[in-house]
Structure 1
Amino acid sequence: MKKPIALLATTAMLFGLTACGTTPATADGNDGSTSTQQQEKPKPADLTGTWKQTNSNSDESWMEATISGDTIEIDWVGQDTKSLYWKGSYEAPGEAGDWKWTSKGDTETMKTALMASQDDTKDFAYSADGQELTYEASALGTTMTIRMSKQ
């Protein structure tokens, strides 16, 4: 009679320990948990906001871009002036590593702006860390790569 009681007590203890215990590690050392050890997937850069030219040759004039919704607008900025250079489409990056897009210009708006680009499209790129926006701007026969940082 002592054997069945001892067997029953041992079984109950094993079930109790199993319920309170931790999951044993697998052969690869993974304990099956979803801890902070798992790396997050890289996210696409958020480019919305205001960007200011970092490679202007003057402290008194620069280019400034505003990205909002599906539009990018770029202005020539002076001490007391602001003139439209570009207004066009903006395609937000869909995934990390999606670093370029071609903007289709709003030609109706730009055709009445004296300082606006005459291009139908403009290529934009941003750095892998999303900290620098670049594009080419031409004026008076000179083309320059414009570099901008988010403000």
Structure 2
Amino acid sequence: MKKTIALLAAATMLFGLTACGNGNTSATTNNASGTSGQQTEQEKPKSADLTGDWKQTNSKSEDSWMEATISGDTIEVNWMGGDTKSLYWKGSYEAPTEAGDWKWTSKGDTEAMKSALLASQDETKDFSYSADKQELTYETTMLGTTMTIRMSKQ
């Protein structure tokens, strides 16, 4: 008789636990007081929004640096100095499609750059974004010297 009551009680408890389910697959955890609470699902990391203005962080001059603007599907990079602004690069931009680091090859707008004295003569330029550093980088070569330009979002 005791076995039958014990089995009946166990079955009732099992049925009661499964009937309480609401279809939510979130895990539950016990907090310090021993009560049960629902743990929210972690949000999936979003891809970075690189649109906006960027400024060079590794210029060795206080009156000369590079700035970039990313808008829509275009990136434009300019040499800045005092009261002057000279086009260096204008080309395509591919927005990140996933979280983390991002790289793209920009195809230059040769029509826009052909009359700019300080513009790059390259047909394409590789850009990188470091999610950890929140930094945009690319290389530029002038007078046989190549430098990695580092920029932060303004």
* Smaller-chain TM-score bracket: 0.7 to 0.9
Equivalent residues in 2 for 1:1-151, closer than 5 Å: 23=20, 30-31=27-28, 37-97=40-100, 99-129=102-132, 131-151=134-154
Asked whether the equivalents of residues 107 and 120 of structure 1 are also in contact (C-alpha less than 8 Å), the reply is yes
RMSD: 2.4
Q: Which has the larger radius of gyration?
A: 1
**Deviation of the 1:36 alpha carbon:** 6.0
2: CA distance between counterparts of 1:98 and 1:140? Answer: 30
Count of residue correspondences: 126
Asked whether the equivalents of residues 101 and 130 of structure 2 are also in contact (C-alpha less than 8 Å), the reply is no
1: CA distance between counterparts of 2:65 and 2:138? Answer: 14
Structure 2 residues without counterparts, runs of 5 or longer: 1-15, 29-37
Corresponding letter in the other structure for 2:122:
D
70-79 or 93-102, which deviates more: 93-102
**Deviation of the 1:96 alpha carbon:** 1.3
1: CA distance between counterparts of 2:73 and 2:133? Answer: 17
1: CA distance between counterparts of 2:69 and 2:27? Answer: 46
**Deviation of the 1:130 alpha carbon:** 6.7
Q: Secondary structure at the match of 2:112?
A: helix
More strand by share: 2
**Deviation of the 1:97 alpha carbon:** 3.1
Asked whether the equivalents of residues 45 and 130 of structure 1 are also in contact (C-alpha less than 8 Å), the reply is no
For normalisation by structure 2, the TM-score amounts to: 0.75
Q: Secondary structure at the match of 1:91?
A: coil
2: CA distance between counterparts of 1:79 and 1:36? Answer: 54
2: CA distance between counterparts of 1:23 and 1:55? Answer: 60
2: CA distance between counterparts of 1:70 and 1:143? Answer: 26
**Deviation of the 1:128 alpha carbon:** 2.0
1: CA distance between counterparts of 2:85 and 2:151? Answer: 17
2: CA distance between counterparts of 1:140 and 1:149? Answer: 25
Structure 1 residues without counterparts, runs of 5 or longer: 1-17
